[in-house]
Structure 1
Amino acid sequence: MTGATLAAVKLDRQELVRVLRTEGDNDTADRVEAQLPDRIDTERDADALAGVGLDRTQLMAKLAGGALGGTIAP
């Protein structure tokens, strides 16, 4: 489907922090720990994610690659 919007992704903050640290991105991991809620919703928390230097497209790419254990909401 062209022009479709990305589905919201929900994941645990600590899972995202783990992946970021595994990738060596400790600065972003520290910001995620300090600024994002325990349960991240990419739609609800889009501004906060952008504030720490992440966007929905980056997270979706990580999910597609199997790096994160989040669930894609309908």
Structure 2
Amino acid sequence: MLLAKEELVRVLRTEGDNDTADRIEGSGLPEQIDTDQHGDELAAAGLDRTQLMAKLAGGGFGTTLSP
């Protein structure tokens, strides 16, 4: 699944998870994050696949996702 790095950071900050948002911003991840391809980088920044899927299921990312 693809999602915009900027949108991920925005949602994390909205939820008050500024530490993870800062790590994502400074991680070197591309502007379009592929959750499968970049799973290790996301986990290293403190956002594991289970957490990310929970946020996605909650609708926090609106329509910025592509299958």
Task: Confirm or deny a common fold (TM above 0.5).
Answer: yes
- Aligned residue pairs, count: 65
Unaligned runs of 5+ in 2: none
Instruction: Say if 2:7 is the partner of 1:23.
Output: no
Unaligned runs of 5+ in 1: 1-8
How far does the alpha carbon of each residue in 1:1-50 deviate from its partner, in whole angstroms, 9 at most, with x for none?
xxxxxxxx210001000011011111110110111211111110011001
TM-score (norm 1): 0.79
TM-score (norm 2): 0.86
Identical counterparts, % of pairs: 65
- The CA deviation at 1:71 is 2.4
Match of 2:26 in 1: 34
Aligned-pair Cα RMSD in Å:
1.2
Larger Rg computed on CA atoms: 1
